[in-house]
Structure 1
Amino acid sequence: MTRHQKRLAVPKSWPVERKTATFTVKAGAGPHGEAGVPLVVLLRDVLGYVDSKKEARYALNNDSILVNGDAISDEQRPIGMFDILAFPERGEFFRVFPDEGGRLTLTPIDEDAADGRLGKVMNKSVVPGGEVQLTLHDGTNVRVDADTDYDTKDSLVIDNESKEIVAHFEYEEGALVTAVAGQHAGRIGVIDEIDVTLGSGANSVVVADGDDAYETVEEYVVVIDENFTDDSDDADEAGDSDE
């Protein structure tokens, strides 16, 4: 199996230039599936903190980079939507967030906001023992009591240290959401209307964005909290070396 990924073939969400070189780093096994961006790409191409995979490995070996509160040892570990990337020694913290073009960006956040990460509930099932298992958008499984009122399309905040649920945001009219895909990706607004489509067609939502509004398919929106509206400007992209 090849160790490289052709730049022209990477997902549209990857924050890489496609015509500066033929190859980029291939994502390893891990969360977010094919949409996950290798950690080294963010460190090198977006932040410019390293110039090569060797430098990235050195930084990781010193436990100076945390993803969702955990020290990471694999520079190809996939990073995806809503992950928290922390550099404690530098006092820098970022949330992975889609911009208006649908590409993943690193949004600077305060240290307090880096304590937990957001997850959209994609599936809900009963497991042996009577507990309910929730599967989040990045593939993470969380078990909760059977009588807990969590539903698919809701959002949860998972504490990075305890891995416990610390906040719950229901998917409903009036909820604050962001579009994470489609032509409205990156736009934040409030659900004005949920249109349930009969049959196999996708449900749609109308989202009020200030004086404007847009309609998108239900799967493209994620419920968020007001902290997402206070983030600073996105980090600049830089660098295009591959090794």
Structure 2
Amino acid sequence: MIDNTAIISASAIIEEGAVIGANVHIGHFCYIGSQVTIGSGTVLKSHIVINGITELGCDNYVGQFSSIGEVSQDLKYKGESTRVVIGSRNLIQQNVTIHRGTLQGGGVTHIGNDNNLMSHVHIGHDCIVGDHCFLASNVGLAGHVEVDDFAIISAGSAVHQFCVIGTHALVNMGACVVQDVPPYVIAQGNRAVPVGIRGTGVRDDWLDSNDQQAVKGAYELIYHRGKRVAEVNKEIEILAREWQILLPYQPFFSRSARGIIR
């Protein structure tokens, strides 16, 4: 079904069964598969392929030569019915690739709302990207990676499969991340190590002074006390009763399968 307010180039191919919402713009030489749903107000530039069981919300922008919903590169994938789900108001720049999920990973690759994916970003199968995340050019996420809300991954960085990037974490340019990055932590290098926390610099002062002290205290517990993660988790759980800024640590540690960067 194609809404009668959609603007579609004559050179675009829309397979029967696709659902195209109101005021969608589809540019030259795009291909939209039969199981694709595109929400209202979304703009697709030229030469874009959206395939498989793929759902885009409203008011997204997708740059030219991007590919969304193609077959997973996981060798275990055998053509099962899996999906890509993308929220609303995302800025997806040129040459971005987002692959569908696998049954082993839950079957869905999920992108939230209000994210900025710059050119040549790759989102592998079964990844989960939250809201308000920023992935700079040439970032690569292997399969099953989770990127929590407000995280920033700088240009040219690579993230190993099954890693978790915590909320408000910052991965600096060119990093190779092979373990989990806790909330608010700055990761840098190949292989990535912690080099500080976000929210305390002159240009990154979104934490007030009390929250800064709480996050600094959590960083001290994690990295400077010689404690095991289980011990740190219990102590931060107690601190989080007073400091809400520390609440994201609990779900982060519960998902951490590869251990945290050291």
TM-score band by shorter chain is: under 0.3
Report the structure, 1 or 2, having the larger strand content. Answer: 1
Query: What TM-score comes out, normalization by structure 1 length?
Result: 0.27
Which protein has greater RCO, CA pairs closer than 8 Å, 6+ apart? 1
